[in-house]
Amino acid sequence: MGKVTGFKEFDRKTEAYRPIELRLKDYGEISTGSHDEAQLQDQGARCMDCGVPFCQSDDGCPVNNLIPEWNDLVYNDKWQEALTRLLKTNNFPEFTGRVCPAPCEGSCVLGMNNPAVTIKNIEQAIIDKGFEEDWIKPTTVEHRTGKKIAIIGSGPAGLAAADELNKLGHGVSVFERDDRIGGLLMYGIPNMKLGKDVVDRRVDLMKDSRIEFITNVNVGKDITTKALQKDFDAIIFTTGASEARDLPVENRDANGVHLAMKYLTMSTKSLLDTGRGDMSELTAKGKDVIVIGGGDTGTDCIGTAIRQGAKSVTNFELMSQPPVERADNNPWPLWPLIYRVDYGHAEAQSVFGEDPRQYQLMTKSFIKDEQGNLTGLNTINVEFNKGQLSEITGTEKTWDTQLVLLSMGFVSPEHYLSNDANIELDGRGNYQANYGQYQTSQDGIFTAGDCRRGQSLVVWAIDEGRGVAQRVDEYLN
């Protein structure tokens, strides 16, 4: 695909973010919003016509995007055809093109000895051009089956399932406990990484396609699953893995220790309700902020805290600093476990003069004053030897902090819904259902996404949403 010698002629060149000094003044998307089509055509030309495109394999893209095909079409300036190929496998490229860490690039064959093709940039450019050119229209369904499906949770898995089932002619109602549709896309990912106008645009398109959205209804509390079963032919649980991993150390109850997702949710809600991201009750303004845990959520906390006017931001990570290049036990095409500088790290470096990350640190206890307010925490350095964690004597340290954000991942979905529906759980507390089948222990109740497989990527949620839609359609037929 692309130009036969393109990977030899063109170097990898990614689309730049907005300058840090400008983007820190607002909560707008860090991307520029514009695409250099000539540059992207050169990048499409770098696609190698490799015999086995690992980018769309199990080690690459979970939704099996037809990446070499739309790379070639972009190179040949056939953008509308590229959009058609992209939408065959991915319902929401405007989401993945912005927030996906791009496992496809990690398994790109060119990446064995050269920088990978800029697949993520090309994907976003294709879908953005599709909206700009008004090529994307509401779904028109000629025949309706009369069957009705209730989807509980409006994150990427729920939206993908709704989109697919609606295309098949079924009636779809999506229930969301929050006040806005989108789940993780709306409140879990900050606006600077995924603009909420982008989410709303897609939701409006789905509404125009006759999908029903119902907000402020918490199924399992406000209404029972049994009551829904009277009105719907099938039910799908796509509630996400919202039970966060906590840190049960001394003085965990101090005022100022919060879960990262609560912090990000309140910030985004403040931005949407008031136009400002620092008007929530939980703000980093003027505080020494410590984020415990890395990953995307930790980075998002760093970026949000800086925009709110934090006095300082530090990020603790339990593991050691990753290598710059792949280690011998991390070969291609596996996801490269290497040192990366994400947008929040670069912003902290610019504002505070250094990378915010501190490695091999374990928090031992929090410190609070007589009023119960957080004033600091105690840590010790750790090391791993043959997989065993041990503390390093003499490395104890006390840190000043008035706001700690716990960003250590998620353990499972909340269980009030599974209790209400009386469905079985797996050994990790997720809703029990086999991949590819998605059927829970209760007839007519299916599940997909993070609540079934555990915390994962948006692109995996889309894959599961598409998969469960197929199984529900078979069930109804």
CATH of the domain at 434: 3.50.50.60
- Return the pLDDT at 57: 86
- 138 within some domain: no
Q: Residue 36 — left, alpha, or beta (φ > 0 → left; ψ -120 to 50 → alpha)? A: beta
- Return the pLDDT at 11: 96
- Return the pLDDT at 465: 98
155 shares its domain with 83? no
- 430 within some domain: yes
Say what the pTM is: 0.96
- Return the pLDDT at 155: 98
126 shares its domain with 40? yes
- Return the pLDDT at 103: 96
In whole angstroms, what is the distance from residue 337 CA to residue 334 CA? Answer: 9
403 shares its domain with 437? no
| Max Cα-Cα span within the chain | 72
- 13 within some domain: yes
Confidence of residue 246 (pLDDT cuts 50, 70, 90): very high
Structure tokens at 133: 């050119």
- 143 within some domain: no
- Counted domains in the chain: 3
119 shares its domain with 202? no
Q: CB–CB of 212/174 below 8 Å?
A: yes
- Return the pLDDT at 291: 98
Q: pLDDT tens, 418-460?
A: 999 999 999 999 999 999 999 999 999 999 999 999 999 999 9
- Return the pLDDT at 51: 86
Structure tokens at 271: 């931005």
- Return the pLDDT at 222: 98
At 74 the three-state DSSP class reads: helix
Residue that finishes a domain, picked among 101, 132, 163: 132
- 377 within some domain: yes
- Return the pLDDT at 35: 95
Structure tokens at 276: 């400002």
Residues 6+ apart with CB under 8 A from 250: 364, 365, 366
* Distance (Å) of CA 381 to CA 202, 245, 361, 377, 442: 46, 21, 5, 13, 47
Task: Read off the pLDDT of each residue in 44-50 and give the average, rounded to a whole number.
Answer: 93
Q: CB–CB of 196/396 below 8 Å?
A: no
The angle formed by the CA atoms of residues 338, 186 and 162, to the nearest 5 degrees, is 100
Give the domain extent around 73: 6-132
Q: What is the dihedral of CA 129, 130, 132, 138, to 10 degrees?
A: -160
229 shares its domain with 341? no
- Return the pLDDT at 114: 93
- 55 within some domain: yes
Beta carbons within 10 angstroms of residue 250's beta carbon: 14
384 shares its domain with 341? yes
Q: CB–CB of 378/362 below 8 Å?
A: no
398 shares its domain with 268? yes
324 shares its domain with 429? no
- Return the pLDDT at 423: 98
432 shares its domain with 393? no
Tell me, what amino acid is at 14? T
Q: How many CA atoms lie within 13 A of 401 on its CB side?
A: 27
The angle formed by the CA atoms of residues 318, 320 and 323, to the nearest 5 degrees, is 145
Task: Read off the pLDDT of each residue in 26-49 and give the average, rounded to a whole number.
Answer: 94
194 shares its domain with 311? no
Task: Read off the pLDDT of each residue in 256-282 and give the average, rounded to a whole number.
Answer: 94
Q: Which of 446, 421, 470 is nearest to 237 (CA)?
A: 446
Mean model confidence pLDDT for the chain:
96
* Distance (Å) of CA 241 to CA 173, 184, 192, 337, 458: 21, 10, 23, 24, 12
Helices (H), 275-421: 295-307, 343-352, 416-421
Q: Which residue has the tokens 């894959």?
A: 463
Confidence of residue 33 (pLDDT cuts 50, 70, 90): confident
- Return the pLDDT at 176: 98
Is residue 59 pLDDT above 90, yes or no? no
The angle formed by the CA atoms of residues 389, 392 and 398, to the nearest 5 degrees, is 110
367 shares its domain with 380? yes
Report the percentage of the chain scoring pLDDT > 90: 95
- Return the pLDDT at 280: 85
Which CATH number characterizes residue 73's domain? 1.10.1060.10
Q: pLDDT tens, 151-193?
A: 999 999 999 999 999 999 999 999 999 999 999 999 999 999 9
* Distance (Å) of CA 204 to CA 139, 234, 377: 12, 24, 45
Q: Which residue has the tokens 């079409």?
A: 73
120 shares its domain with 177? no
Q: CB–CB of 74/126 below 8 Å?
A: yes
Structure tokens at 452: 């079934």
Q: CB–CB of 190/307 below 8 Å?
A: no
- 141 within some domain: no
Q: pLDDT tens, 82-134?
A: 999 999 999 999 999 999 999 999 999 999 999 999 999 999 999 999 999 99
Task: Read off the pLDDT of each residue in 410-418 and give the average, rounded to a whole number.
Answer: 97
Q: Which of 463, 475, 469 is nearest to 60 (CA)?
A: 463
Structure tokens at 339: 């040192």
Confidence of residue 387 (pLDDT cuts 50, 70, 90): confident
- Return the pLDDT at 58: 81
Parallel/antiparallel/unpaired status of strands 374-385 and 388-391: antiparallel
Q: CB–CB of 307/284 below 8 Å?
A: no
Q: pLDDT tens, 297-348?
A: 999 999 999 999 999 999 999 999 999 999 999 999 999 999 999 999 999 9
Q: CB–CB of 122/16 below 8 Å?
A: no
Strands (E), 49-88: none
Confidence of residue 1 (pLDDT cuts 50, 70, 90): low
- 1 within some domain: no
Least reliable range by pLDDT among 49-58, 153-162, 363-372, 425-434: 49-58
- Return the pLDDT at 409: 95
